[in-house]
A and B are shown apart, each in its own frame.
Chain A
Amino acid sequence: MTSTAPSPAESLVVRGTPVQLVEVVKDYGTGSRALDAISLEIHPGEFVALLGPSGCGKTTALRAISGLETIDAGHVRIGGEDVEAVAVHRRDIGMVFQSYSLFPHMTVAQNVAFGLQMRKVSKAERVRRVQEALDLVGLGHLGERYAHQLSGGQQQRVALARALVTRPRVLLLDEPLSALDAKVRVQLRDEIRKIQQETGITAVFVTHDQEEALAVADRVAVMNAGSIEQIGTPEDLYLRPATEFVAAFVGLSNRLDGVLEHGRVNVAGQDLVALPSALQDGPVTAFVRPEDVLLGATGLPAIVISTSFLGAQRRTVVQLESGPALTVQHATSEHPQPGDLVRVAFTGRPVAVAARS
């Protein structure tokens, strides 16, 4: 009979804890509410991203969960318990910040051990758990280094280990990747997701980068001006945006004026299927994804304005003879040049529509 030691992730597994925001209001007195009665229910073990432009309230929402920001009305519940009156250090959360937050006067191991010391964990247990947490993020050999001796990516990994080592009820990530270069960003993004799945921890991830949010989250809450515009899976947001803001913010869209009639929308003389909406028939704005427009031998005549190479694909802007400009995403095998006369057609996939503003 053999026994195997648990892997670092297994030993850090936590029970997923539900998190709820109920009608949460935060008003800084600047004229508009930072959080305007937002409600959000995060299931145990779920990875939810709060996505939105700067100033939309996503970081305030995260800080309301952590307790770093007090709220003016509503409820914050962690594990079903109202925590508005619970101080930050008693909420049992783990947090990773945007800027490097490692304590400069402590080694990596001391940083990771800090939360355990606060919980009065015995020294032997502390040493073991610190090593496990560092192994989990692939930095088990760097325990004696100081923060200034690490790269940006390594520092954020240590911050992640430090946040996880206490086995918190919820992991809060406040734009943890935004200070990193593009390559490390993608690596760490995937690693955070992998660790979250392995440990089963409930995680809330704040970002303004839609690609980041869509890539890692189980669900994404798109925020705008203190409100949640839509909560859904990445596919929902991309394929079935509920509002004009979501359609415009998530992914790239061509905004075209059209007329909605009996579930179909007429755009530039073309009749397209509209995604289900509560809109009345009449003038609307249609959101057509660049990959839903084709360059080819048939279709609407247009002239190429510009084209750019994106690696796996090429993006070309064309001006239709009938007026509007369109962005087309197509294979790199096609090489349209500015000034070329081309024809464009729609794939026929349903398009999102919103009331024309």
Chain B
Amino acid sequence: MTTAAGAPLADAVRPARSRRPRRSRFGAVPSKATGAIVLLVIGILFVIPLAAMTWFTLQTVGTGAFTLVHWTAILDPAQASSYSDLFAGMGNSLVLAIIVTAIILVLLLPAMLLAELRFPTVHRVLEFVCLLPITVPTIVLVVGFVPVYQVVQRVLGSDPWTLSFAIGVIVLPYAYRPIQANIGVLHLTTLTEAARSLGASWLVAVWRVVLPNLRRGLLSACLLTISVVFGEFTIANFLGQNTFQTALLLLQQTDPYVATIFALAALLFVFVLLVVISAAGSIGRSRKQQS
């Protein structure tokens, strides 16, 4: 006869399951060979256009001989004026990326948290509003934005940063989804209630418990936001703003080689950004695990 009280409990001393390699919950885990093949095929699909673009920038006009002249031209002070619009557009796009990311973090994220934690009845409405822009063709949105921007320009001027409002709308579905997916796998209500029962105020509960657990979703949302900002052309073009994409198109018409070099640079920039953001996301976690 055994008594539970006072005795070391079976599951308290059971070795942790995590000491064994964790297995996926899904049965259809691909073999290493299959994984390698998939990676190889995807890698080729990515590398071929990049290689072709690089190849193109190294060719001489007419003869097709290899040359670095197009690359060195970018740094040539004599031709700086040719590329000044492009550099200005690049700066504008960076500013837009920062503002739109801020809009997502300052407006969308709190709205989603409020809908999840305090006002579950508006959850569906928020989801509908956030996903709606993806169903409307950009050109249709632009037609709607034009009269709105006449007001915006009267009130705030016509600086390129004002584009962030329009792009903020376009980016909503891309930012909403990863954050919502992250929220969906957490018991946010229970976690915040637990934090509050332990003495944390609402703000502290969100800062100390909610946000750290939403890090992955937030990083994905930020990355997608930046990608959309650097990929959006129609709105900037129709609203007459100079961004990286519009400047690149103009440059393409006069110097396709340098335009291709900048396109390559933009792709590399986004790739590096992806790696940096992903690394930043895992730094805190690995540090905790080490401690």
Contact = CB atoms under 8 A, between A and B. Distances in A.
Q: By CB atoms of chain A within 10 A, which of B5, B10, B196, B199 has the most?
A: B199
Contacts of B200: 89, 114, 118
B110 to A, nearest CB: 20
B204 interface: yes
Contact of B197 (A93, A103, A149, A154): A93
Interface of A: 66, 68, 87-90, 93-95, 97, 99-107, 114-115, 118-119, 137-139, 142, 145-146, 148-151, 153-154, 157, 159, 162-163, 166, 172, 184, 186-188, 190-191, 193-194
Given A138-B9, A191-B5, A101 B193 contact: yes
Contacts of A146: 18, 289
Interface in B12-27: 12-14, 16-18
Nearest to A103: B209
Interface string B167-204: 00000000000000000001100110111111111001
A93 B14 CA distance: 31
Interface in B125-158: none
B187 to A, nearest CB: 5
B193 A68 contact: yes
A87 B201 contact: yes
Interface of B: 3-6, 8-14, 16-18, 186-187, 190-191, 193-201, 204, 208-209, 212-213, 285, 288-289
Nearest to A195: B5
A170 B159 CA distance: 59
Contact of A114 (B4, B10, B198, B289): B198
A187 to B, nearest CB: 4
A101 B190 contact: yes
6 contacts: A87-B196, A106-B288, A138-B8, A138-B9, A188-B9, A194-B5
Contact of A103 (B10, B193, B213): B213
Contacts of A118: 198-200, 204
A66 B5 contact: no
Contacts of A99: 187, 190
A184 B191 CA distance: 23
| A-B pairs with lowest CB-CB distance, top 6 | A118-B199, A115-B198, A149-B18, A95-B197, A101-B194, A187-B4
Contacts of B14: 151
A157 B12 contact: yes
A95 to B, nearest CB: 4
A191 B4 contact: yes
Q: By CB atoms of chain A within 10 A, which of B12, B191, B197 has the most?
A: B197
B12 A101 contact: no
A104 B212 CA distance: 9
A115 to B, nearest CB: 4
B11 A153 contact: yes
Contacts of B209: 103
Contacts of B6: 194
A103 B191 contact: yes
A104 B8 contact: no
